[in-house]
Chain A
Amino acid sequence: MQEFLQQVVGGIAIGGIFASLALALVLIYNAMGLVNFAQGEMAMLATFVAYTLINRGISYWIAFPVTLVVAFAGGIVIQRIVIRPVERAPILTLVIITLGLATLVNGLAGFLFGYVPRSFPSPFSAQSADVAGVFVSYRDLGVIAMSGLVLLAVYLLLQRTTVGLTMRAAAHHPEASRLLGVHVSWMLALGWGLASAVGAVSGIMVAPILLLEPNMMQSIIIYAFAAAVLGGIESPLGAVIGGFVVGVTVNLAGAYIPHVGGDLQLAVGLAIIVAVLILKPNGLFGRAAVRRV
């Protein structure tokens, strides 16, 4: 039982990381009906920015917000340059472009920083606290707290501010918003910036665990896909809950199902995606898609 709880706690911590990246995916999905295949790679590049800053001797707690700002700006720049020319293109075109973006960013990071894995600092101590017989490391607690904060911040931004309201309006009713004087295209860019910053948090959180290298996010993005699909891809809350569920499931599967461990845990992510898409395509919190004939 104790070991079981231990695995659950570990799963929740890693789930917070999946949740952040899944939330980033949902933000862009809501803005333009697109899954951004480059989300993980953008987060990885942002993590390299943080790494460079910290390596220059800047404190972690300054480098962290600076990185988020850089990621935010980067997201906007990418939307303006790469996505805007094809905003109205068919989904096939958009998906291929984001995949091209993923490949490009991955190669760019390899070009600039090389492929040698680097250790990334964690601001939290590696020691553990004993909570009713279950050892919870401060690192895990820190990751959970940080993810929680980010999710709360995004929620407040979208639900309680005028900018958030405008962004949601532009996403759901672009025509009506345009008539009311909203710059819809710029709202999409803001959405990309926000998603990029949220994704960057997941990159910075996961780097101390996985070691930083250009392919770091390749597995995380699969879990984030699974989390977003499980949550119903258009529901931010669903993505967050999906992230925690996927984190715990993957951890438990690795511990208790024979032969599932290490890289085969990724197959659990694939299995979740396939199972949800076949059994309940709208996920836990999504609305049924209505097709216009």
Chain B
Amino acid sequence: MRALALRWGTALGGFNSHLVVGLTLALVTLPQAVAFSVTLAGVPPHFGIYAAIWGVLFCALLNPSPVFHGGPNTAMSAAVGVTLLPLSAPFGAEYMGLALTLGLLCGLIQLLFWLIRPLGRMLDLISEPVINGMICGIGLFLIFRSLTTFGGLPLNTEVEWPLWIAWQSFLAVLEIGNPYAIEIGLITLATCIVVQQVERLKSWAILAGIAAGTLYSEYLNRKYGLGSTLVEQIGNLSSIRPFTASVPTFSQEAMHDIVAIVPGAVTLALLGLFQTVAALRRMSRKAGGYADTRAAIFSDAVTNCALPFLSSLPSCASFNRMWLVHKLGIHSRVTIAMSAVLLLLLVLFFARAIAVIPMPAMAAIIMLLGCNMLKWEDIKPHVTNKREAVVFFGAFLSVLFLDLFGAVLVGAVLAIAYSKWEQAHPNVSLTGNVLKIRGNIYYGSLPVIERIYHDALARGERLVIDFSQAYYIDPEGLRWLAAAKNTGHAALIDRRSGIDRRAVAAAAAAAERRSGWDRRTDGRPATPSERRARRDRRRKPQL
């Protein structure tokens, strides 16, 4: 009986944890959903809220990873705005129809990445320094991006946010920010920081912060009136239903516009997938697990194909919310699905209570998430290695000076360059007359190897090439080894097993066969004596 009670108690405790984390996630996602749709994408708030409900739910069902949290995303929302702004007026019926079409095209393009396996594999060319650099960049991005809302100021930028504008926003908050908004934001932050220090209350920290900020805001509104405090609140969401069916625009007269948004759809698809793959790999590793990125591509693609029929913005992984899931310490798809259901219930039944939550408190929470993403423990390993540091800071600065998509591209190029550079510089040592090659022998590394080889030859010694620790030898490497052997200046050895030597000998013979030395002019295989004679002829210089 006691054991049963204990089991029930544990289960209930677990459920409570799921509930708290789910509620925290729901409350953090809600303002982001509203802000992204209205200020970035140029669509009504329900687009973002449906993405935060249905996008998260679909991803939780389709994606096997326990750390994945989909939903509305900053960069994707901004990309929707950038693509559609030249074509139509925001918030209009035509604009919303095109936004849905854009989302559907994005989903279909993502589906191609799942269907064509090598295409999806390309997304894996993002290394850990790139991902960490991006995370740190996005952390700063979130802090700066929330500054104006924190200070109760109107959003300063429509779609772009270079670092210098963020700095202007900081100065503006100091000089002309709404003092009431600043106080609410600071109280929210201070409450979060203090509650976070108590281990048992850690997962309640954000909720406590929002509660403190809201209570103080209500106190100010009672004392001075909303007309005097001018503190922005989330506002009335009572018109939102569980779902609103919609159909993307695909009419004859809209064809011109649809063709025009195809490049935007490609960008949107790549933006989403890059972030999904990068965030999933990073957070899975952080949680000590492994996630199949192909499953994530599939879940993103199917979700984004379905969401346009539910009046929703496209969805992809959210670095900051996944970070929050990790920080709260519950890695479970149940929690994530629960957050979506809780958000729906909150919007349906507590719309009036949610309406009074002040936006500065929400901005403070987003800033806190940004701070949590800037961890020295994650940065330190990349700073110790010079080349990795270049990749890390390249990705980090690209987020700050370009945008997320630019950062992903720069990061991928740097990561590939870094790995190629490493491969192209094998460890070649000359001990006595033994030339030992540790690393790759391929077209990129041959110039390095050949330089040392010829330096050694110049001393007039007969060399022994030891490639027992070569990881990989490409056909050009094989031809070089064969040529080195054939010149008679060097011998090939493999001290460890001899297996490699035989393999190389066979490969060298194969390479020579391909070059045609063992074929007679009529195309039939040469006899052993003919081969021997021909090999001798090749070795002796023709006078």
Please indicate whether A and B come from the same complex rather than being unrelated chains. no
Q: Which residues does B use to contact A, with CB under 8 Å?
A: none
Q: Which residues does A use to contact B, with CB under 8 Å?
A: none
